[in-house]
Amino acid sequence: MKKNTGFKENCNKVILAMPYFVAILAVLFLLYLGFRFLPKGEKFLSLIFGSGLTGAAAILGIFYKQASKEKAQIENAPDEGLSKLRKEIIPTKEKIEEEFLKLEIGDLQDITDESNKSHRENNILIYSYSKNPLLQLRLEQINEDFDESWIPSVTADMGGREKNPYWRLVPVYQNNTLPFFYYFIQMDGFRYWVPLPYVEYNKIEKFEINKNKPVKRCTVTKVQYNLGKVLTNDHGNYNDSYDDILKQCKIEIVR
């Protein structure tokens, strides 16, 4: 496979260099015609003109070689995080999620007020990724009291059912809103960010859900889990307590 790949790369280099070589050959051919058929008095002018064209072609060749070298350096650079990617290219969802899997405590910084002072009033939060300032998370509250059958009943401090705000997390890269997002709810006094799971329901018939025991299984991805864990980090020993809240919701981590 390596031999085939190397041969293919060499062929591509030869193809890309063809215009440069053709230009030089054309200039040399014109020089030959000038010396052969032009009158003696014009041969000197032909020599100057041809030398100029040859020099121009050589300079273009140098620029081409340098550009090809820089392109190869970019394409072959180690892929160690988004900072190594070319700025003009928007990373794929897979690349973004690789970064989210690496998130640790303190990596997300709340810059809402710096970004726009009216955001917080409109229930919008902006978090920056300290290891790569080009990457941000935009959190938008879309429902102040979300409820589904998989959410366990947790008594609020005042004795009534607590509200569970529902949020959409949208990745933003270089001020470009990416075309995918994640949903979370806040639980237990807004202390925990619980990812919205994929819910499988128990059914009596093909389209009828069992009302006595509706939920069969709830699952989230490792990316959802890590995002929720880091967003919850402001409340101390989240490693144990965050896992506990997921267990209460009977949420499993998969993929």
Residue (of 5, 2, 47) closest to 27 by Cα position: 47
For 108-117, what is the mean pLDDT?
Answer: 87
Tokens encoding 200: 């499988």
Most distant pair of Cα atoms in the chain: their distance: 108
Residue 228 pLDDT level (bands cut at 50, 70, 90) = very high
Instruction: Tell me the C-alpha distance between 158 and 150, whole Å.
Output: 23
Task: Tally Cβ neighbours within 10 Å of residue 253.
Answer: 15
- For residue 126, is pLDDT > 80? yes
> Would the pTM count as exceeding 0.75?
no
Residue 191 pLDDT level (bands cut at 50, 70, 90) = confident
- pLDDT greater at residue 31 or residue 5: 31
